Amino acid sequence: MPSRAEQEIDRLLGLHPKGFDLSLGRITRLLDTLGNPHLRLPPVIHVAGTNGKGSTVAFSRALLEAAGYTVHVHTSPHLVRWHERYRIGAPGGGKIVDDDVLADAVKRVADANAGQAITVFEILTAVMFVLFSEHPADAVILEVGLGGRFDATNVIPEPAVSVIMPISLDHQPYLGDRVELIAAEKAGIIKSRCPVVIGAQEEEAVRMVLIETAERRDCPFTVYGQDFLSFEERGRMVYQDNKGLMDLPLPALLGRHQLANAAAAIQAVRIAGFKVPEQAVERAMTSVEWPARMQRLIKGKLVDMAVPGSEIWLDGGHNPGAGLVIAEAVATLEDRNQRPLFLITGMINTKDPVGYFQAFTGMARHVYTVPIRSSGAGIPHDELALAANEAGLSAEPVHSVENALKILAHSWDTSEPAPRILIGGSLYLAGDVLSDNGTPPQ
C-alpha cells in the first residue's frame, strides 16, 4: 500500500508530464506563489557535475555533521522511496523526511500550482525549498538534477559556494554532444561574485570553460590540482590546500576517485565559511555513507542467493566516465584479493552501454544483462548483451538479478574462490536491488 506521500506524488505523475523540460520560468512562477521559500534558506552548497556530485554531497554532509552543524540535503534521483530526496537536518545527524510531513508539503505545493503546466521534478524541487525553509538548519547541500543552467534547483541567487565535479558526456540530447557544451550548461550554477570550487576534471577544455565562466562572473574560485588536492600515501589520505596539510584516514567510500571527491567537499565547506576542525574531518572520512556507490551488500535476500562467500558490490554509475572509476575501484579490490569478476548490468536507453562496458574489458569473466523493472526506458536485455559483446566481453541476457545469481550459484566450480559480483549500470537498477534485497536506504 503506497504511503500518503507516495499517493500524492502518484497523483501528480498522472497529471503532469514525466521527464525533463529544462526551463526556470515554471519553477520561478510557482515559488513566487509560495512566497519564495528558496530565499529563506541557510547557506547553500550547490553541487553540479556528471560524476561524483552525489559522493561530494555525502562527504559535505559528513564533514558538517561531524563538526556539529545541522544540514538539510537534497539529492536526486531516489533509489527506493521518494522520501530519500529530502534529508532534514537535526542535532546529532539528520533524517529522511517523515511521510506525513512530505505528503502535506507535496499537497500544498500542488494546490499552489493549481494545475498549471509544470513537470513533476519542478514540483518536487519546490517541495524541497518549502521543507528546507520551514525547518531550521545551519546549511543546505543541494544536488543539481540535470545540467545546471536550467535545472529547477538553479534559482538560488547567492550560494555560499558552487561546486562543479567531473564532467563527461552524458544526457547529450539535453546538454549537447561535446564536453565543452555540457560544461557550459553545468557552469550555469555559477553566480556573480559567489565562490566556486572546480573539482578534478579529465578534460582541459572542460576546466577552461569553468575557469572562464568564473572569471567572467567575477567569482573567487579554486581548482583541484592547482589550489587544492589529495593523494594516498602509506594507506592514508593527504589533503593539501593553501592552509596546509591534513593527514587523514582513507575515505570509507571505495575508489581512488573518492579522494578527489572528498577533497572537493573539504574545500567547499571551508570556502562556504564553515569551521570544520581536523578531528571532525577525520571522523567524516570514516563515517561517510552513500548508498549504491560501490556499496558492498553484506546481507539480504539477494545475497543469500549468491555463491556462498561471494563479494557483492552495487554501483549506480551509468556512463563511460563512471565505468572507468568503478573499474579502477574493482582493480584495487583485485590487487588486495583476487577473485573472478562477474557483472550483472542493466541500463536505460539514454546511456552509452558500449562505452561503459569497455572499462571492464580484460577484467570481467562474464556479464549477465538484465531488464530494469522500475523504468520504462530500459535497454532490452538482449540488446544490452550485444553491446557488451561489442566491447569485447562475454555476455548473456537473463530475466533478473535474482535469475543471474541463481544461474551463477548453480554452475559455480567450488574449487575456485567465490566470485566478485558487480551489480550496476543504472540507479534505477540499484534501487530495485536494494528493495529486493530488503536493504533500502535509511
pLDDT tens, the chain, 442 aa long? 889 999 999 999 988 866 666 789 999 999 999 999 999 999 999 999 988 899 999 999 999 999 999 999 999 989 999 999 999 999 988 999 999 999 999 999 999 999 999 999 999 999 999 999 999 999 999 999 878 889 999 999 999 999 999 997 555 555 545 888 889 989 999 999 999 999 999 889 999 999 999 999 999 999 999 999 999 999 999 999 999 999 999 999 988 899 999 999 999 999 999 999 999 999 999 999 999 999 999 999 999 999 999 999 999 987 888 899 899 999 999 998 999 999 999 999 878 899 999 999 999 999 999 999 876 788 999 999 999 999 999 999 999 999 999 999 999 999 999 999 999 999 999 999 999 999 998 8
pLDDT at 23: 80
Residue with cell 565543452: 180
Query: Are 267 and 241 in contact, with CB atoms under 8 Å apart?
Result: yes
* Assigned C-alpha cell, 195: 565562490
pLDDT at 350: 78
pLDDT at 192: 97
For 8, phi then psi, to 5°, come to -65, -40
Query: Are 263 and 215 in contact, with CB atoms under 8 Å apart?
Result: no
CA dihedral over 302, 83, 268, 284, signed as positive or negative:
negative
What is the pTM assigned to this prediction?
A: 0.91
Query: Which helix (H) or strand (E) segment is 241 a member of?
Result: strand 236-241
* Assigned C-alpha cell, 121: 521534478
Q: Report CA dihedral (375, 441, 162, 228) to the nearest 10 degrees.
A: -120
Query: Are 20 and 146 in contact, with CB atoms under 8 Å apart?
Result: yes
Q: Output the furthest CA–CA distance in the chain (Å, rounded).
A: 67
Query: Are 316 and 372 in contact, with CB atoms under 8 Å apart?
Result: no
Q: Give the 3-state DSSP-derived string for 1-43, with helices as H, strands as E and coil as C.
A: CCCHHHHHHHHHHHHCCCCCCCCCHHHHHHHHHCCCHHHCCCC
Measured between alpha carbons, how far is 321 from 104 in angstroms, rounded to an integer?
A: 39
Query: Which helix (H) or strand (E) segment is 366 a member of?
Result: strand 364-369
pLDDT at 374: 75
Measured between alpha carbons, how far is 137 from 429 in angstroms, rounded to an integer?
A: 33
**Of 165, 166, 223, 154, the residue nearest 191 (C-alpha):** 154
**Of 214, 197, 207, the residue nearest 167 (C-alpha):** 207
Q: Write b or e for each residue in 61-90: b if 16 or more Cβ atoms lie within 10 A of its Cβ, otherwise e.
A: bbbbbbbebbbbbbbbebbbbbbbbbbbbe
Measured between alpha carbons, how far is 395 from 353 in angstroms, rounded to an integer?
A: 13
Residue 298 buriedness (CB in 10 A; 0-12 / 13-18 / 19+): exposed
